[in-house]
Amino acid sequence: MTPTITKIAEDLAAGRCSSRELVDDALARIAAQAPLNAFVTVDPEAARRDADAADRARRAGAGGVLAGVPIAHKDIFCTAGVKTTCGSRMLADFVPPYDATVVGKMKAAGCVMVGKTNMDEFAMGSSNETSYFGPVRNPWDRDRVPGGSSGGSAAAVAARLVPAATGTDTGGSIRQPAALCGITGLKPSYGRVSRYGLIAFASSLDQAGPMAQTAEDCAHLLSAMAGFDERDATSLDVPVPDYAAGLGKDLKGLRIGVVKEHFAEGVEPGVLDALREALREYERLGARLVDVSLPNSAHAVPCYYVLAPAEASSNLARYDGVRYGFRAPDYQDLEDMYKKTRSQGFGPEVKRRIMIGTYALSAGYYDAYYVKALKLRRLIADDFARAFTQCDVLAGPASPSTAFALGAKNTDPVSMYLNDIFTIPVNLAGLPALSLPAGFAGGLPVGLQLIGRYLDEARLLNVAHRFQQATDWHARVPAGL
Amino acid sequence: MPHGLTSLNAEDIEKVAHLARLGLSGPERDAYAQDLSRILDLVSQMNAVPTDGVEPMTHPDEAGLRLRDDAVGNEIDRDRLLAVAPKTRDGLYLVPKVIE
Amino acid sequence: MEWETVIGLEVHAQLKTRSKIFSGAPTAYGAAPNTQANVVDAAFPGVLPVLNGEAVRMAARFGLAVGATVHRRSVFARKNYFYPDLPKGYQISQYEHPIVERGRLVIATAAGEKVVGITRAHLEEDAGKSLHEDLGGFTGIDLNRAGTPLLEIVSEPDMRSAAEAVAYLKTLHTLVRYLDICDGNMQEGSFRCDANVSVRPLGETRLGTRAEIKNINSFRFVERAIDYEVRRQIALLSSGGQVRQETRLYDSVRDETRSMRSKEEANDYRYFPDPDLPTLVLTEDLLAEVKAAMPELPDAKRRRFCDQYGLSAYDAGVLTASRELARYYEDAVQAAGAEPKLVANWVTGELAARLNEDGLDIGGARVTAQALAGLVRRVADGTVSGKAAKDVFEAMWAGEGDADAVIAARGLRQISDDSAIEEVVRQVIAANPKQLAQYRAGEEKVFTFFVGQTMKASRGKANPAKVNEILRRLLAP
């Protein structure tokens, strides 16, 4: 069984295993679990070559915690010389000539990429069913969705195919699949991790982060991923702490804000039960629960479904069949080429969001939709600021339900959108948040969402880590692997 | 903003689709008209919140834009960029004739 | 009916940065296609814009120079439309919150000075180029120009004639070059102009429907395009027709404007703040830096030239037409040590004529300011005559050396020695007794005959002033 990064690092350091062995093992598991459809691309030769290089480097005395650790990248991160599809026909054959900053940083830390994970097309989805390459299956129940959009990464970690994977989170795309697959996933503060080379969905909301078995592993990964990047104007020029070194502080006196609106109707009873039990565990660990309210977060979904599609409609205008990517085979003239290329290259959900965004920005509707949503965004962010005067972290569900059945929410886009009701407000405010395994309901994992103050990832990770030292939900593995 | 049930007709959809350069078939138009109307209903719940005097928040980072030095980077390899283009000739990207 | 013309101008000035406004690609003109466009300019997936600080400083410099408000906060917006030379499917520009607003420019018109309002100036990126030549029925796209920084300068509709429009453009053209923010090269498209033209019955205060004329890339064409458009609109209105609000293209070959039908489709640009670029905040430090680096502006320099060098307003105007010419002049005055008016005459006379003849600007002058000063000194101290000096200048231009070397090599040193001239004059008088008699009989005009003969005998080298003086003395009865 694939151990945690912390364990792998010990084994590698002690010479109990080699990176090459770990990579071969990962490749074998990926092949054996092909029906999960977690990967779009696997590159065995490059992975073995990089693993051998990592082993040589280690023998020469080089390499940190992550050196030689196999990882997977969500197929939204550009990888030089390796196909990067973003889950879309539009980029089905696109090979970028550059690495995303996150990819470059992970490489520099010694991680060995074994492949690229499946995802909702252009990260637009909460079930991984919008991928051009077919849906990903949840390792806990293969008739259920893994969540989305980072569903391939979540399934790959949950099925222990790789110890860790990268994800991106625009409205919950790391936390919701982490919750549905029973792993730990962190969305850092906006600006903490560079967006360069991360294919944009909604630029003011997108943020990359780690997905792994434990908070401790996420801490190692975040230390490698985060940091200033001169190629991203929204990247923060602030020092990156050693997140793993900050773990282990006890939780005495920690004030956990329990969001009133998040423990309410609309959340599955089994999920609520598991979360209440998790909160009791925190009390046992010395934390104090405080009731807080985020009154405007109820409007976050409508607000998000104006802002994210508006930005997306513009971000996805570059896919026009001129410089890269798909171009429709037959066309009459330029207009026809544009329209055929874009209608054949994009799937239905992407087109739906482009249409919504285009409409919301168009003449006569801009103030009513777009500006109104920006004002709500302010109110939602202000709610968090107010709540954080009463507590240190906020706690609640990452998703209102456990993993739902494949196809269950395909007919009504709105019901799918409401899945992200608890994760979306965090992106609007730009705050860090993570989901950690907090129990089971009906045999399916339940995720606890912890939300932190701006740039307070270290505290979030510590709060999650202490919980994982006291519980073993994160160590549970799906049957049949 | 329209209140209550928002209804977009096929003509509205066609206009938006054209702005976004998406070619839609007849059935697709109808389906999108229905989907978009539902989404706009969801979105119009925003109306319930009074926002007079609230400053729009365009971005989580309100500290201000960082500026770059005016330096030329040595990073252009035309052949590599053009290699992934659908149609090129003599170092140019080719598109169907544009009539000015 | 009498008509009044109303003109507002939009100028796109390409900023003289080394790299592009949002990427590190170079901005040099004329390179092979797509060799100056990197992944950011070509809008590859996942790449991001980072703003060039120099473009911001240049825009601020312009704002300060036209007495405008330079906003501490301004916002980049996306202007969304599809066109193959617009790689992202949107242009990054400034819309609701430009960096510069409410400036003014003083122009010289036939009726005296006039103030033209500058509504705004904003930063934006240029698009690439579509090449429509024969490519097998295709259009070629070259993205070298994509992402080049532009300052779009929008005037108020304050101009009332094509001549005023040209005066405004020339003043602006001089200013941006003074500020060293734009090279002003109109052929290469570094300084482009669109004109909004309308007419209205004289006395009417509401504006008429305007047409926007694009693609006018020389001062001459601006004048012609506007004149044509004004005639067209008046003819249309006089015959009961109506002007359509539309974009028209100026065709310099046929000297007419015509409707651009392809641009007629109503555009909905869906502007919104660019989420990749947070608010641009100008710090006090940056503004102080821009102020400190502000060069002397054309107006101030012109006034100083009149005061300091005693030049006429006209000469001062000519000499301050560009920063380079003004510097050449001041370098020459300094090297000459004196004679600012004489230096001015040489710069605006011989030098300007020669540059014009050879199609050069002052940067291409083959006689340096120091060398010209050397020549002026020799004219001032009487070493060469004014006439001979012109030959010396030509020789210097041809590369024959400095003034002293040419004078020596060609034996052009003027004879100013009284006894030597007197000797020649005595010979001339002795050889022409008949003319001497005529002169002494009161025929004053014969004097010029003696001057000519003396100059001829001295092979042009005698100092004419001395020749006059000595002739007067020796011819006297």
How confident is the model over A280-297, as a mean pLDDT?
97
Please give the mean pLDDT across all residues of chain A: 96
C contact set with A (CB within 8 A): 39, 42-51, 78, 80, 82, 84, 87-90, 139, 141, 268, 270-272, 274-278
Is A74 an active-site residue? yes
pLDDT at residue C416 in the model:
75
Pairing of strands A184-187, A288-292: unpaired
Chain A: residue whose CA lies nearest to C79: A314
- Predicted-complex ipTM score: 0.97
The verdict on a CB contact (< 8 Å) between B70 and C36 is: no
Q: C225 with C216: CB under 8 angstroms?
A: yes
CATH class in words for A5-252+457-475: alpha beta
Chain C: residue whose CA lies nearest to B18: C82
pLDDT at residue C264 in the model:
47
The verdict on a CB contact (< 8 Å) between A358 and C270 is: yes
Q: How many CB atoms lie within 10 A of CB C82?
A: 19
Is A173 an active-site residue? yes
pLDDT exceeds cutoff 90 at A462: yes
**A106-120, C108-122, C415-429: which has the minimum mean pLDDT?**
C415-429
Question: Where is mean pLDDT largest: C127-136, C153-162, C466-475?
Answer: C153-162
Q: How far apart are CA A66 and CA A57, in angstroms?
A: 12
Quick one: residue C51, left, alpha or beta (phi over 0 = left, psi -120 to 50 = alpha)? beta
Q: How confident is the model at residue A456 (pLDDT cuts 50, 70, 90)?
A: very high
The verdict on a CB contact (< 8 Å) between B51 and A354 is: no
Helix (H) or strand (E) holding A166: strand A164-168
Is A293 an active-site residue? no
* Chain A hits for C44, Cβ within 8 Å: 78, 96-98, 323-324
**Residues A174-214: tens digit of each pLDDT:** 999 999 999 999 999 999 999 999 999 999 999 999 999 99
A228: contact with C, CB 8 A cutoff: no
Comparing C463 with A11, which gets the higher pLDDT? A11
Please give the mean pLDDT across all residues of chain C: 92
How confident is the model over A297-305, as a mean pLDDT?
95
pLDDT exceeds cutoff 80 at A357: yes
Helix (H) or strand (E) holding A186: strand A184-187
Q: Which residues pair with C90 in a beta bridge?
A: C80
How confident is the model over B81-91, as a mean pLDDT?
95
Look up residue A322 and give its DSSP letter. Answer: S
Most C CBs within 10 Å, among A95, A166, A323, to test the C interface: A323
Q: How confident is the model at residue C385 (pLDDT cuts 50, 70, 90)?
A: confident
* Chain B hits for A369, Cβ within 8 Å: 1, 43
* Chain A hits for B85, Cβ within 8 Å: 322-324
**Residues C325-372: tens digit of each pLDDT:** 999 999 999 999 888 999 999 999 999 999 999 999 898 999 999 999
The amino acid present at C395, given as its one-letter code, is A
pLDDT at residue B3 in the model:
43
**Residues A83-106: tens digit of each pLDDT:** 999 999 999 999 999 999 999 999
Helix (H) or strand (E) holding B26: helix B26-43
pLDDT at residue A480 in the model:
84
**Residues A53-65: tens digit of each pLDDT:** 999 999 998 889 9
Q: How far apart are CA A263 and CA A272, in angstroms?
A: 7
pLDDT at residue C153 in the model:
98
- Residue of A19, A74, A131, A150 marked active site: A74
Q: Which of A97, A317, A362 is opposite residue C82, by nearest beta carbon?
A: A317
pLDDT at residue C230 in the model:
96
Chain C: residue whose CA lies nearest to B96: C138
Q: Which of C36, C44, C260 is opposite residue B76, by nearest beta carbon?
A: C36
Task: Give the closest-approach CA distance of C74 to chain A in angstroms.
Answer: 15
The verdict on a CB contact (< 8 Å) between A338 and B61 is: no
The verdict on a CB contact (< 8 Å) between B32 and A352 is: yes
- Residue of A173, A189, A223, A399 marked active site: A173
Q: What is the DSSP string of A293-314?
A: --GGGGGHHHHHHHHHHHHHHH
Chain B: residue whose CA lies nearest to A317: B20
The verdict on a CB contact (< 8 Å) between A377 and B57 is: yes
pLDDT exceeds cutoff 70 at C265: no
Q: How far apart are CA A207 and CA A169, in angstroms?
A: 5
Closest CA to C172 of C66, C320, C300: C66
All domains in chain B, ordered by first residue: 1-49 (1.10.20.60)
Q: How far apart are CA A253 and CA A288, in angstroms?
A: 6
Q: Which of C89, C268, C272 is opposite residue A363, by nearest beta carbon?
A: C268
Task: Give the closest-approach CA distance of C80 to chain A in angstroms.
Answer: 7
- Residue of A88, A149, A189, A223 marked active site: A149
Chain B: residue whose CA lies nearest to C276: B59
Q: Which of C17, C18, C38 is opposite residue B76, by nearest beta carbon?
A: C38
pLDDT at residue A249 in the model:
94
Comparing C215 with A154, which gets the higher pLDDT? A154
Task: Give the closest-approach CA distance of B78 to chain A in angstroms.
Answer: 11
Q: Which of A96, A97, A314 is opposite residue C78, by nearest beta carbon?
A: A314
How confident is the model over C131-149, as a mean pLDDT?
91
Sorted by where each begins, the domain ranges of chain C are 3-288, 296-410, 418-475
pLDDT at residue B1 in the model:
41
pLDDT at residue B100 in the model:
56
How confident is the model over B63-78, as a mean pLDDT?
88
pLDDT exceeds cutoff 80 at B99: no
CATH class in words for C418-475: mainly alpha
B76: contact with A, CB 8 A cutoff: no
pLDDT exceeds cutoff 60 at A107: yes
Q: How confident is the model at residue B76 (pLDDT cuts 50, 70, 90)?
A: confident
Q: Which residues pair with A415 in a beta bridge?
A: none
* Chain C hits for B21, Cβ within 8 Å: 82
Which chains neighbour C (Cβ–Cβ under 8 Å, 3 or more pairs)? A, B
Q: How far apart are CA C335 and CA C399, in angstroms?
A: 20
Q: How confident is the model at residue C135 (pLDDT cuts 50, 70, 90)?
A: confident
The verdict on a CB contact (< 8 Å) between B54 and A375 is: yes
Q: Helix C53-65 crosses helix C162-178 at what angle (to 10 degrees)?
A: 130
pLDDT exceeds cutoff 50 at C445: yes
pLDDT exceeds cutoff 90 at A150: yes
